[in-house]
Structure 1
């Protein structure tokens, strides 16, 4: 199994947003995308889908990958991902946000992480929406945003509505406990139903 950063991803092929290639929060489709390419074809950064390959190859350079004969190279990783992001590949923007947050191949920079996370969340990227929701909830991504339950619910709802079971589960817990919000049995049921549907779909 190829090495991938735990926080990195991602996605099912989705051209609803022109700049988003994968938007599956479980990450299965992103990993499966590599099966479409040989080493030579992935490294050939020409053609109509070159920005997709820039993103995929950039991710490999973060850790290195034996299957594609890629050694860890932060300079190449950052360069490829930035080029993909400049070409409006939202997937690459999210990846760069996590890299800035954790200081991986880039100096840790919460302002840049925050900007990228917000931009990609507004573009409809599910993992960015979950990221913002959990950051505002104060459960993870510490220091990215101050705790704000209204904004946490807003972004978790966006992600849950787009099919993220984790965000649906977090919403259910929020409405069940009533911490920071009023206890809401209707929203609790909706969240639990969404989470159950997603978990069932993922096991098929």
Structure 2
């Protein structure tokens, strides 16, 4: 009788221990899935959007650099020895503009692998913080370059009678159109950098 009771008790207790272990594993695994997966998906979506915005920034910064760097116009006159020429490197502000936008476009190209890391591993904070720091520096650089060039473009279009600055855009029409387009592209790049800073700050704030 005792052996029968002992064998019965063992047959009943074994399934109960397995079921309790399964329930404990289910209860511990369920909150993990509920808390981590939605946040990881949100961060991965932000990283993908960050990558796309960086591609747009590369296009804007490269366009500003290429347009300004190839701007040159020569006015035809009676002889080839007496000509008026306007080039971007005649003004230090335009030279600084080309260098700053070239640096910004190069940085954006180099930042693409770090942005891809954010897509693959959305919980990594180090790369996002690094991009935030350098994006902030690029905001200052591109804004300064665009503002300096915009001041020269304004004088080229309107002049300044108080300082005897003549408006040259009536003669150098193509030159003024190209530098105006380059300044617009640089301001677009600056706005894109501002948006990247805000995007990185929001992503870090949600950690």
TM-score per shorter chain, which class? under 0.3
Indicate the structure (1 or 2) with the bigger Cα radius of gyration. 2
Return the structure number with greater helix share.
Answer: 2
TM (norm. structure 2) is 0.22
TM (norm. structure 1) is 0.22
